[in-house]
Structure 1
Amino acid sequence: MQSLRRASPKSSELTKSRKEGPGTFYPFAFTDIMGIEKDTNKGARVEDIKLAMSGHIKDGYNFNPVSKISEDDHKYNKTPTLNDQVHVLVCVVSATTSNILSAESVAKMREVRLAARDMGIPQLVILTKIDEACPEVNADIKNVYRSKYLKEKIDDLNVALGIPLNCIFPVKSYHSEIDTDDDIDTLILSALRQIIYSGEDFVNNL
């Protein structure tokens, strides 16, 4: 479970989006954590993810796959505010591996999702590397919504995680491109727009 950018191996990282002026930022930030792994002693612990969602873990905490954060840890936030809390949960899954998600990984992801639901936090899924997973899309990104393979992957995620179909967004990440591409940007911005709208709805409903 990660954000759209590359994750740190262990720690949570906060990314703010800078405006044109120095020292000014758009009113949203991405917090990136290490991924969920199928093994018990690997990846971020579900208990820590729940604490992070409720604002109890400060930025820069090194997640320990073996034990959850202690309340005595200097990175533990005992009195989180609304600004410390997660306003929308985004689960990032690679289209190249979504068909081999283990039962353990799915169970962890569902537990996190249900905890977010109980907190009122909206949840979305970003399906990445769609061009690597589907030759049809690799040939032309406009085929993203015509691809039977991607539709099957999205349906699988819908069933496995319980995320509504309209909350699962396929995207192609930039990797070797020199120039920007409108079709790639359209998919990314569509997902980003829904993330921002969902976060705003969460805050406004409190």
Structure 2
Amino acid sequence: MDFTVPTLAAFASTRVFTKPWREIPWEDKDRELQYVKNYKPHRDDVKHLRFLLHGPVGAGKSSFINSVESALRSRITGRSLVEANASESFTKRYKTYKFQKGQPGDFYPFVFNDTMGLEMQHGGVHPKDIKLAMKGHVKDGYTFHPGSKLSDDSKYYNTEPTLNDKVHVLVYVVPADKAALLTESCMKKIKDIRRMACELGIPQLAVLTRIDLACPLIEKDLKNVYKSKYLKEMMEKFSYLVGIPMNYIFPVKNYSEEIHVDSEVDSLILSALRRIISSGEEFINNKEM
């Protein structure tokens, strides 16, 4: 699976849709933000939804967490540490990220968990650790070990996970400009993890990052995201190979160079976040847990 990032000259009018193939409320970002602010789980036994991120090294998992917080707080944040041009996963420990909503101690009713990246060949997070995390057995602070999974006699093993410990949505994070990272080995890991999530009935979505670096049209104007035929074709190929439907794949641009929030960047981030939240809500309401 290899995609060549094209040049701007390569994009003639035939490579652009005259109308966006997916609509997004660019001018109504506040409506998406208000949905997130108003959301509360409809089950009394669920304190918060838990979203687990995983994907290739350098995909932008930690940056996506920072971007979500930036969109929610209307300022650039960087609580989840990231490494520029990392050749191996910067995230080593399992950590839960909460997002402050108002005053200190007031948080949104959803959390993110970051994981070690799926490194090439035999490196990266052990797939069985992902399954253990999905089932709520992994405690914060656990250090990932590529060669072995978390043992049930470890102090980081949660023997009796509650509903709030379990994962409600699995989110694949894939870099649009480095799709070549999805080697046969990496694809196998993604499919194995996807199969585990399916066995548990956990909904799955994909967030496609670095779209501005993958397509010159989008780099020129972020509103071209759903006009780019190149990006749509890449999403279709990813959907076919992994099995995630197109309407569960969301292209975004993470904050990386900006020092102030941007309305268009926020719109894509909040659109993806809203779908993640609604998928988690459907899961907790439709499944006996």
TM range (shorter): over 0.9
In structure 2, give the amino acid aligned to 1:14: T
1:158 to 239, 258, 261: 239
Q: Which residue of 2 aligns with 1:37?
A: 119
Alpha-carbon offset, residue 178 of structure 1: 2.6
Q: Could you say what secondary structure the match of 2:174 adopts?
A: strand
CA distance in 2, matches of 1:87, 1:139: 36
Counterpart CA distance in 1 for 2:258 and 2:129 is 36
In structure 2, the partner of 1:18 is 100
Helix, strand or coil for the counterpart of 2:281?
helix
What's the secondary structure of 2:112's corresponding residue? strand
Kindly tell me the number of residue pairs found equivalent between the two proteins.
205
2:160 alignment counterpart:
79
Deviation string for 1:13-40 (max 9, x for gaps)? 1110111122111110000011112312
Select the residue among 263, 267, 272 that pairs with 1:186: 267
SS at match of 2:261: coil
Partner-residue secondary structure (3-state), 1:43: coil
Q: Which of the numbers 203, 212, 220 marks the counterpart of 1:122? A: 203
Normalising by structure 1, report the TM-score: 0.95
Is residue 141 from structure 1 mapped to residue 233 from structure 2 by the alignment? no
Alpha-carbon distance between aligned partners in 1 of 2:136 and 2:181, rounded to the nearest angstrom: 32
Report the counterpart of residue 200 of structure 1 in structure 2: 281
User: Residue type of the partner of 2:146?
Assistant: P
Structure 1 pair 98–39 and aligned structure 2 pair: CA distance change class (3 A): same
Higher relative contact order, structure no. (Cα contacts within 8 Å, ≥ 6 residues apart):
2
CA distance in 2, matches of 1:19, 1:194: 19
Selected match of 2:150 from 62, 69, 75: 69
Deviations 1:150-199 (A, max 9, x none): 11220121011100000000001111123222111111000000111111
One-letter identity of the residue aligned with 1:199: G
Q: What SS does the aligned partner of 1:14 have?
A: strand
91, 95, 103: which one aligns with 1:9: 91
2:277 partner amino acid: I
Mapped contact 1:158–1:165 kept (Cα < 8 A): yes
Which segments of structure 1 move beyond 4 Å, counting only runs of 4 or more?
none
Deviation at 1:8, TM superposition (A): 4.6
TM-score (normalised: structure 2): 0.69
Q: Which has the larger radius of gyration?
A: 2
AA at the equivalent of 1:84: D
Using the TM superposition, give the Cα deviation of residue 100 of structure 1 relative to its aligned residue in structure 2, in angstroms: 4.0
- The equivalent position to 1:93 in structure 2, one of 174, 197, 203, is 174
**How much does 1:81 deviate?**
1.2
Aligned-residue sequence identity (percent) comes to 51
State whether structure 2 residue 170 is matched by structure 1 residue 170.
no
Q: 2:134 aligns with which of 29, 53, 69?
A: 53
Unaligned segments of structure 1, at least 5 residues: none
